[in-house]
Amino acid sequence: MKKSNRVFIIAALILLIIACAKDQNQIVIPKDATEMEVEFSWDGIKACTHESPEIKVTHIPDGTVELQARLKDIDLPAYNHGGGVVKHDGSGIIPAGALTIGYNGPCSPPGSRHKYEFSVMAKNAEGAIIGFGKSRQSFPPKR
């Protein structure tokens, strides 16, 4: 095999590996999405449970029909903590325990604290993202 063919094949394999390694679940937030404020507290939440805290969301844009929330461990981002979707009832509250789609609460290794982030997307009737916000808190909370 010619040297140029080998180089071409190696370059093609490298590009294929890079393309496959990209996060296929990455969500792109539109630049014109309304910036929402998100608040939550870990108070009363036990480690390693499936019970989500109450999440308060303000500045929810008109036209929102559902709120989608996800939990991410900032210190261990590869671990998927899941989240859930709730219908927007106008209250701006995602009730405690409402996240049910594979939601796994904070589960920092014993003796350590991790920083966790809830991100919340507001979606309209067509499923388009029209608002976005996020908030971070360490777990376990400081006493």
Query: Residue with structure tokens 């982030």?
Result: 117
Q: Per the domain annotation, does 125 fall within a domain?
A: yes
Predicted local confidence at residue 11, as pLDDT:
54
Q: Per the domain annotation, does 11 fall within a domain?
A: no
Q: How far is CA 59 from CA 8, 21, 37, 94, in A?
A: 52, 35, 6, 14
CATH of the domain at 51: 3.90.280.10
Give the Cα separation of 15 and 31 in Å (integer). Answer: 29
Q: Per the domain annotation, does 97 fall within a domain?
A: yes
- Contact between 65 and 99 under an 8 Å Cβ cutoff? The reply is no
Give the contacts of 84 (CB within 8 A, at least 6 positions apart): 52, 68, 69, 98, 99, 100, 101, 103
User: For residue 109, what are the domain limits?
Assistant: 27-139
Q: Per the domain annotation, does 32 fall within a domain?
A: yes
Q: Per the domain annotation, does 14 fall within a domain?
A: no
Q: Per the domain annotation, does 79 fall within a domain?
A: yes
Q: Per the domain annotation, does 90 fall within a domain?
A: yes
Type of residue found at 36: M
**Number of structural domains in the chain:** 1
Q: Which tokens go with 46?
A: 């036990």
pTM of the predicted model as reported, rounded to 2 decimal places: 0.80
- List of the chain residues with pLDDT < 70: 1-26
Question: Model confidence over 92-108: pLDDT tens digits?
Answer: 999 999 998 889 999 98
